[in-house]
Amino acid sequence: MAKKKTEVGQKKELPIIEVQRALKDWFDMRRNEITGTIEVRNKDEHVFKEIKEDNLFIKLLNNGYRISQGVLSALFNSDFVQTYNPFKVYFESLPEWNEQCRDYINEVANHVKAFDQQQFNIQFKKMLVRAVACAIDDRSINKHAFILLGKKQHTGKSTFCKYLIPKSLKDYYTENITSDKDGMVCLSENFIINLDELSGMKKFDLNNLKSMFSKDTVKVRQAFARKPQTAPRRASFIGSTNEDDFLTDRTGSVRWLCFEIEYIDFDYVKIDVDLLWSQAYALYKSGFDFHLTADEVKENENRNKKFQQNSEEYDYVQKYFLPATESDFHSFRTATEIRDYIITMSERKAEIRSVEKLGKVLTQLGYQKVSKRSTDRDNPVYGYYVQEL
């Protein structure tokens, strides 16, 4: 029986093996694990470049290779394209560091003249090792933002933060972060996020950032992927500000590692930043403990108090009350009664909507919440011994 002739104008799709052979002849190909993009280089080139699926699809058609875009996408998501992780490739390519080498991290830290130099040096080293772990180990996240703070302008805080970005990873660095879907992608696709000039951020933005610090995974839809997938959070946060009261959340600031800077000696640039990361990577592999100890957490909380912006509740409590004891007090008031007193005394100018938040402020200011029985109430109530000012 004679074979059925192909109708005029009908284009026959070639076997996928022929398309694969053509792509291998033209390029070296790899899939970027961080971004999900396909990178190629011509056989006579050394540098890989990202290529768009549409451009490659047109190139195949122009060379007589008939293939659907769906099949091409499936090919990119298959084992045909080798996956590589640019973060792991970078750290594994660095010169080997061991304890007999110079302590590059400490040398650079000493060029930053901090008012708490000893803790700055310790936490700077831990921060770098945490950043390595967060970037290449899906089980590790960096829950702290490392912040340089100083009232003086032009001390080089921003420049120092940018110095920490290796040239090999400059494409995985950003100074822009939002709380929307794009912001979530930034957490997965960047090595460092620089919160440059925190003083320009609103209270809402700062509190959203705090929640981002604790994220370990994000939902992202990478290039060529059919649906969103769970990806590890890889980015670490650094930043700088000239404002000494940028912290707005008095319920806790453990996620912010803030260090007040007097000045910075720019000779740190003489040390290749790759040597810092080589040391940090070696410390990570050796099992270096990069977590904050319980004492360091408390010390950090105390250090951050000077950078705290007082809330309206905080200021009003300070204005109208002092903490008291059962043996020496003017009155016993519940948090609601304290709120009502403040509103009355301020001639209704105070806007205190959350009694719960007021209670947290009272605790922070040293007021002890106790249970007390009253003659006009059947059940005991919780409140505070206070003295009115």
CATH number (domain holding residue 261): 3.40.50.300
Asked if the structure places residue 288 within a domain, the reply is: yes
Q: Where are the beta strands (DSSP E) in 265-334?
A: 321-323, 331-333
Query: Is 374 found in the same domain as 356?
Result: yes
208: phi then psi, degrees, rounded to nearest 5:
-65, -40
- Whether 10 is in a domain gets the answer no
**pTM of the predicted model as reported, rounded to 2 decimal places:** 0.76
Task: Report the distance separating Cα 314 and Cα 300, nearest Å.
Answer: 21
What's the number of domains the chain is made of? 3
Is 160 domain-assigned?
yes
Residue 7 lies in a domain: no
Are 187 and 135 part of one and the same domain?
yes
Considering 54, 84, 114, which residue would you say is the last residue of a domain?
Answer: 84
**With the CA atoms of 92, 31, 174 and 238 taken in that order, what torsion angle do they form, in degrees rounded to the nearest 10?**
-40
Q: What is the pLDDT of residues 307-320, one digit of tens each?
A: 877 777 888 888 89
Using the predicted structure, report yes or no on whether residue 276 has a pLDDT greater than 90.
yes
Domain boundary among 287, 307, 327: 307
What pLDDT sits at residue 238? 95
- The reply to whether 158 and 286 lie within a common domain is yes
pLDDT tens for residues 153-190?
778 999 999 999 999 999 999 987 877 778 888 999 99
Which among 52, 84, 116 is the end of a domain? 84
Quote the Cα angle for 368-363-211, to 5°.
155
55: domain range? 16-84
